[in-house]
Amino acid sequence: MLRTLTIGWARGILEIKQFNRAREAVVFTIAFPVILLFIFGSVFNNEIAPSVTFSQYFVAGMIASGLVNSGFQNLAITIPMERDSGALKRLRGTPMPIEAFFIGKGIQVLYSMGLQVLLLLGFGTLFFGLELPSDPSKWLTFAWLLILGSISATILGIAFSSIPKSGRGASALVSPIVIILQFFSGVFFVFTSLPGWMQQFAAIFPLKWLTQGMRSVFLPESFASQEVAGSYELGRIALILIIWTVLGTFFAIKTFKWSRI
Amino acid sequence: MILIEGLVKSYGEHQAVDGVDLSIEKGEIFALLGPNGAGKTTIVEILEGYRVADGGKVLVLGEDPAAKGRAGAALRGRIGIVLQDSSDSQDLTVLETLQHFATYYSAPRNVDELISLVNLEEKSQAKIRTLSGGQRRRLDVALGIIGQPEILFLDEPTTGFDPRARRDFWDLILALKNNGTTILLTTHYLDEAEALADRVGVIVAGKILEISTPATLGGRMKALTTVSWQSLDGQIESVESDKPTEIIRELIKKFDGEIPALSITRPSLEEIYLKMIGEK
């Protein structure tokens, strides 16, 4: 157990080193959401409810998307690439505990997610009227959303990684899925203004619930009445994230491949 | 060290391995030879635990290589694997990679000594993406032996090497053998098998044709020997014979002293091998 954790930690450090050295990945994962923030925050700065601007609404959604980008999208693309390069096959031929590999991935996701959230919070408060909550209970909500959100995004990324046929095809498959989910889940538009079928479709997936959770942290309590259910539904958010995490774990264990055969 | 009995493996309709028996003893270098698609890599990957046999008995160090979980990990701590082609960890340095992989094993080699053993001292701080093909391959071997394995699997280790690099590599492999490591090698180069292997096995279409030493494979010892020399009028003459010593004796009588341009050659391992797989 201790050995698994020690090696998992060492893998996390190694993954972070590799992540930092792959500049395209850093730019794609970290800078892209910030660029989107500037574009959308500057174009749509109208008030969508008393004392709530669209840019505030958008920052909350982008933080939720950040979890999906650095967890799901990142792993669903990089793991197939590592499968193609023989990295996974090599690891599978060593006595490395396989859990350590996934711990390492989780650490790398936490790192890139942390960077991304800090950048979004920083730019959001400096330029787009985002107000950091003063109520400690909201920070508590933020904390569990980050933890549960990053765990489920990591596991779903690992689970999805067995679907792309090659590393090269992974990005073409995964990126559109994420972008469509972002549109449907109310990241780029106010969720309640979307067509009903789109809302219902998005409600199946975790991103919609993560964005709603983040709004409960960064938007005033009064805005809850604007949500679909008239409240932020924190309990339901936790439940849905847990269900996806369990399903993802099951699927990942069943389908994970260390090499292309 | 390695025991295979009645090994069978097919991919769909294709029978990749068709009833192979093989036993490899401690401290020997065994080379598996055969054309592409003969089943070499499938056998090696079953022994390495990457693939599961359809039938037959497979033991590596007395264990089932397909064992999962803790037992599988324990076995993988005692073997070393050098895969055919890998292009991973491009952004890490040689030193970082070796130091990291050392943490997986209970008794790893000293990383600095390992780097000098595979002759990568000058590249230890270099990113892996900057290594040449031969350097990359030496790093692969270093990763394969970092855990001081009892058995080392080498799958076509010197493909793309220049002759000098190949000789250096052979010296490294022989040094490992002298330290008691058992080595299973697959190769397309017959000179490599001859230089390294104690025994070779020829496999064609999933079946073993013959297992013997490189010197005796395919009746090589009994095959006709070619003796050639330069005759007094300057022509190169050559005779094939099963009694080359007699020819030499006559030549000694004929020439006073040195026999010009004398050569006595048995068929090369390559010639024997090509004949064997051609007959199939």
Tell me the pLDDT tens digit for each residue of B206-217: 999 889 998 888
Does residue B132 sit in the same domain as residue B238? no
pLDDT band at B280 (very low <50, low <70, confident <90, very high): low
Task: Give the residue numbers spanning the domain of B121.
Answer: 2-218
Same domain, B143 and B234: no
Last-in-domain residue among B172, B190, B218? B218
Domains of chain A, residue spans: 2-255
Is the domain of B243 the same as that of B176?
no
CB neighbours of B252 closer than 8 A, spacing ≥ 6?
Answer: B259
Interface of A with B in 27-86 (CB under 8 A): 82, 85-86
Q: Which residues of chain A have pLDDT under 70?
A: 261
Of A10, A87, A92, the CB nearest to B88: A87
**Is residue B103's pLDDT more than 80?**
yes
Contact B89 A10 (CB under 8 A): no
B25 shares a domain with B127? yes
What is the average per-residue pLDDT within B190-214?
91
User: How many pairs of residues across A and B have Cβ atoms under 8 Å apart?
Assistant: 67
Residue numbers of B between 95 and 134 with CB closer than 8 Å to A: 96, 100-101, 103-105
Q: Is B236 exposed, middle or buried (0-12, 13-18, 19+ CB in 10 A)?
A: exposed
B14 and B93 assigned to the same domain:
yes
Domain end: B218, B233, B257, which one? B218
pLDDT surpassing 90 at residue B115: yes
Average pLDDT over every residue of B52-73: 89
Question: Could you tell me which of B198, B135, B184, B193 has the C-alpha nearest to residue B164?
Answer: B135
* Residues B247, B214 share a domain: no
Q: Measuring CA to CA, which residue among A104, A142, A121 is closest to residue A6?
A: A104
User: How far is residue A146 CA from its own chain's centroid?
Assistant: 9
> Do B204 and B152 belong to one domain?
yes
Distance of CA B113 to the CA centre of its chain: 24
**Distance between CA atoms of A159 and A176, rounded to whole angstroms?**
17
B47 with B79, same domain? yes
> Which residue of B77, B91, B105 is in closest CB contact with A21?
B91
| ipTM reported for the complex, 2 dp | 0.86
Are the beta carbons of A159 and A251 closer than 8 angstroms? yes
CA distance A112 to A22: 13
Choose the mutation target among B14, B93, B104 for the interface with A, i.e. most A CBs under 10 Å.
B104
